[in-house]
Structure 1
Amino acid sequence: MNRHLNIQTSHGTLLGHLALPDNPRSLVLLARVLPFAVDDPLATNLFNRGHAVLGMELISERERHFVDATQDVSRLARRMTDMLDLIRRDGDMQALPLAIHASGEVTPAAIRVAALRDTQVNAVAGHGGLVDRAGLQALEMLVAPLLMLYDKDDQGAQASWQRAQSHFNCLTEMHLLQAGEDQGERVSAWFARHAGRSSGMTGELT
């Protein structure tokens, strides 16, 4: 099943898309600053592995004209919280184990939201981003297992990870992506292990 969703804000409408397979093992929220593409490779990979996928944009079309819109961690976190509220009220999603995948500027906001909604968010994965911008309190409060993937040349984000590492009290794992490596298998395995319902597929990382 496929559905289009939207969230109204004072700065415009945020658009999203839900892809729901039969007997989903979990729901993965893909939070993005740009409009979500239905053919997003990670979304396709996760869906094919039995995860429901909710792709939502965090920045409205009007806000994309402002260069600093993606740097406001507090605003991005509020938008993600609105999305989690939507999930709680939606009959197709509310009963599914929830995981969050974020990338770049959204990663610190995802960590902050997962720390605040520790009974709702079961696992988090991120690709790049300055995790220490989530704030010391969020790093220390995070309960959900966190997987962070970094491109080898993303030195700034890797340095941010090192600064944050000693403050985490949850299970964490970091992996440097090889050139051309598809993050989908690793992310899906992480969510299958820590957030999803068993469906007969292994969730081992290699």
Structure 2
Amino acid sequence: MNRHLNIQTSHGTLLGHLALPEHPRSLVLLPRIQPLAVDDPFAGNLFNRGHAVLTMEVISERERHFVDTPQDVSRLARRITDILDLIRRDGDMQELPLAIHASGDVTPAAIRVAALRDTQVSTLSCHGGLVDRAGLQALEMLVAPLLILIDGNDPAALASWQRAHRHVACPCAMHVLQTRENQEERVSGWFVEHARRLPGIPDSLT
């Protein structure tokens, strides 16, 4: 099943798309700064591995005209929180174990939200981005298992993780991606291993 969703903000509309397989392993939220893509290969690969996938914009078209918007961690965190509220109210999504996969500038905001919504966010993975910008309090509070993926040519992300790592107490792993490595397989495996099972999910899907 495929559904289109939106969230209204004072700065414009955020668009989203939900792809829901028949027996989902979990719900994976992909918060995006870029406009929603017609064909998102990463989302498609996770869907093909049995995950429900909610791809959702976190800044509006109007906000993309301001170059500093993607660096506004507090704004992005509020938007992700709004999406989590939407998930809580939606009958197709509310009962599924929730995982978040963030990338780039969205990474610190996703960590901050996962720390605050520890009863809702089951597990988390991040590709690149400056982890330490989530803030000391969020890093220390985070309980959701955290997977950090870093490109081999991204020394800033690696340095940020090295600064942040000493403050993280949750189960975590860091992996440097090799050229042309399939990150979807690693992300899906992390989510399947760590997502909290809920009643009614068949054992064959965990």
Q: TM-score w.r.t. structure 2 length?
A: 0.95
Corresponding letter in the other structure for 2:151: D
Corresponding letter in the other structure for 2:176: L
Corresponding position of 1:174:
174
Contact 2:33 2:57 in 1 (8 A): yes
Corresponding letter in the other structure for 2:98: L
Determine helix, strand or coil for the equivalent of 1:25.
coil
- Give the deviation of 1:36 after TM superposition: 2.4
Corresponding position of 2:22:
22
1: CA distance between counterparts of 2:196 and 2:189? 9
1: CA distance between counterparts of 2:78 and 2:168? 22
Aligned length: 202
Q: Deviations over 1:84-113 (max 9, x none)?
A: 000000000000000000000000000000
Are residues 24 and 201 of structure 1, via their aligned partners in 2, closer, same or farther at CA, if it must alter by over 3 Å? closer
Structure 1, 190-199 or 107-116: larger mean CA deviation: 190-199
1: CA distance between counterparts of 2:113 and 2:124? 10
Q: Deviations over 1:6-33 (max 9, x none)?
A: 0000000000000000011100000010
- Give the deviation of 1:184 after TM superposition: 0.3
Q: Deviations over 1:27-85 (max 9, x none)?
A: 00000101222421211111011100000011100000000010000000000000000
Q: Deviations over 1:110-161 (max 9, x none)?
A: 0000000000000000100000000000000000000010100100010000
2: CA distance between counterparts of 1:201 and 1:5? 26
Contact 1:17 1:38 in 2 (8 A): no
1: CA distance between counterparts of 2:84 and 2:7? 11
1: CA distance between counterparts of 2:38 and 2:167? 36
Are residues 28 and 65 of structure 1, via their aligned partners in 2, closer, same or farther at CA, if it must alter by over 3 Å? same
Corresponding position of 2:46:
46
Corresponding letter in the other structure for 2:204: G
Corresponding letter in the other structure for 1:195: A
Corresponding position of 2:204:
200
Compute the RMSD of aligned alpha carbons: 1.2
Determine helix, strand or coil for the equivalent of 2:21.
coil
Unaligned runs of 5+ in 1: none
Determine helix, strand or coil for the equivalent of 2:119.
coil
Structure 1, 55-64 or 40-49: larger mean CA deviation: 40-49
Counterparts of residues 1-206 of structure 1 (less than 5 Å): 1-195=1-195, 197=197, 200=204
Runs of 4+ in 1 over 3 A off after TM superposition: 196-202
2: CA distance between counterparts of 1:148 and 1:42? 16
Structure 1, 192-201 or 174-183: larger mean CA deviation: 192-201
2: CA distance between counterparts of 1:171 and 1:100? 15
1: CA distance between counterparts of 2:9 and 2:182? 34
Determine helix, strand or coil for the equivalent of 1:95.
coil
2: CA distance between counterparts of 1:58 and 1:49? 25
Q: TM-score w.r.t. structure 1 length?
A: 0.95
Unaligned runs of 5+ in 2: none
2: CA distance between counterparts of 1:59 and 1:199? 37
